Structures are given as C-alpha cells and as structure tokens.
Amino acid sequence: MKDHSSVAGIHSVRSALKFGSEGVGELWLERTRRDRRLGELADLAREGGVRVRLMDRDDLDKAVSGAKHQGAVAWVRVPVSLTEQDLSAHLDRIEGPPFLLLLDEVQDPHNLGACLRTAEAVGLHAVIAPKDNAVGLTPVVCKVASGAAETMPYYQVTNLARTMDALKSRGIWLTGTAGEASTDLYAADLVGPLGLVMGSEGTGMRRLTRERCDTLVRLPMHGCVESLNVSVATGVCLYEALRQRRHP
C-alpha cells in the first residue's frame, strides 16, 4: 500500500491494532492458516474499523521480504515526527518522574527502529532526537520497530543542546554514555526524572551534548570489543534504569 509500511507478526500486529488502529490501513491474514490468534486479530481490526483481507502466503512473504509474519501483516501509515512545541506540552502531561531517551544523531534506521521498540517495551515517555543528521520515521524504521513507531512519541528538535537545557530546567537529570566515563552504569542512580543520552553510531555524543549531561556513565566491557551497537547499548541502559525504577 502506498505511504504505508508493513508490520509483521502476531504480537506486533496486535500492538498496532490495540494502540494505533487509526493508523492501520489494512490487515492481511493468511487465507489457509488455522490459528485462533489470527481470528482475534481480525476481531480487533473490525472493532477499529480496519479492513481485513485474506491473502495467500506468497503475498504475505513478498510484503515482508521473506521475514517471519506468522500469517499476519498490518499496513500502517508512516507517522510524522513531532516537534519541540509538541514535546513541551507532552512533558506537562506526564504524571510522575519523566523517563526519556535522547539520541544524538543516530542515522541508521535499523538502530532507531530497535531503540523505539525497546523504549516502548520499558514504558519510556518519549524519544528525542535532532532534526539534522538524524534519521526520521521512515518505512524501514517502522518495520524494525514492529508497531512501536506508532505508539512511542518521537520528537525531532531543531537544537538538541537547547532542548537539553530546557529539560534540565524542569529538573530532569541527564545521564550520558561514554566509554571513558569513570562511573559504571550499574553504580549510577537512574531513579527519578531521567533523560538517558546516547551518542551516534560512529563518533558518540557531540561536544555540546556531552557538556550538557549532568553525569556520564560507561558500560562495563570485559571482552575484546571496545563498544556496543547503539541500539544494543540503549537496550542495556534502559533495562538497568527500569530495574532500578521498579526496585529503588
């Protein structure tokens, strides 16, 4: 479908239908597959006013380029990135301590999609990135995010350093990640109003971004590699923050 991206798999399709059915154009279900869960997806789609089409397996395979779809593919509209004005209003509505992720010039759509998926899984309030030199919500991002791009607020701001200053004025503590930091991730306090800051794939955080962090932490590395992929590192950090916030 034009201007739509495919989301595949029963769990991802269910999330898209439950939390963003207004953005789902069609639901494709495998014609010959017998699975109670596919019937539940069809019911969800009809409740949300989404058209359901029964398709041959070959059509589903082509739609997701051979990826596993479990007999279900949802076609979702690629969402529009939000702005800093939207961010301010969103922060005003948050109940309890904000839990945010800031991505400094992450450019790989697969990395952004994976970060959005993890962010949604841990209950993050928003993901923030600069408009320039950073990937937006492309069809590839939406596909990798498996439904999270439709439910996780993604804000692209004109000036990330200025936005960080605004977050700090709200009492949000900004914790950046850097390999040379002296504080271990697992020794850091990640409870309370928190903005976790991750650098780009190649060079990490820019100087102005680093200077605005209240503290820097490092991931312990005991093998031969010097760093982790940004989406993997983000997942490690977010789940450590979640662990601390659940059991402070």
- In whole angstroms, give the CA distance from residue 8 to residue 1: 14
What tokens were used for 185? 């991730």
Determine whether the annotation assigns residue 199 to a binding site: yes
Radius of gyration of the chain, Cα coordinates, nearest whole angstrom: 19
Determine whether the annotation assigns residue 48 to a binding site: no
Q: What is the DSSP letter of 202?
A: T
- Decide if 240 contacts 247 (C-beta within 8 A): no
Angle at 110 between CA 119 and CA 157, to 5 degrees: 60
Amino acid present at 12: S
Nearest CA to 116 out of 218, 22, 7, 217 is that of: 7
Determine whether the annotation assigns residue 216 to a binding site: no
Interaxial angle between packed helices 36-47 and 10-20, expressed in degrees from 0 to 180 and rounded to the nearest 10? 20
Residue ranges in 6-101 assigned as alpha helix (H): 10-20, 36-47, 57-63, 84-93
Per-residue 3-state assignment (H helix, E strand, C coil) for 128-192: EEECCCCCCCCHHHHHHHCCHHHHCCEEEECCHHHHHHHHHHCCCEEEEECCCCCEEHHHCCCCC
- In whole angstroms, give the CA distance from residue 17 to residue 218: 38
> Can you say which residues are annotated as belonging to the binding site for S-adenosyl-L-methionine?
199, 219, 228
> Can you say which residues are annotated as belonging to the binding site?
199, 219, 228
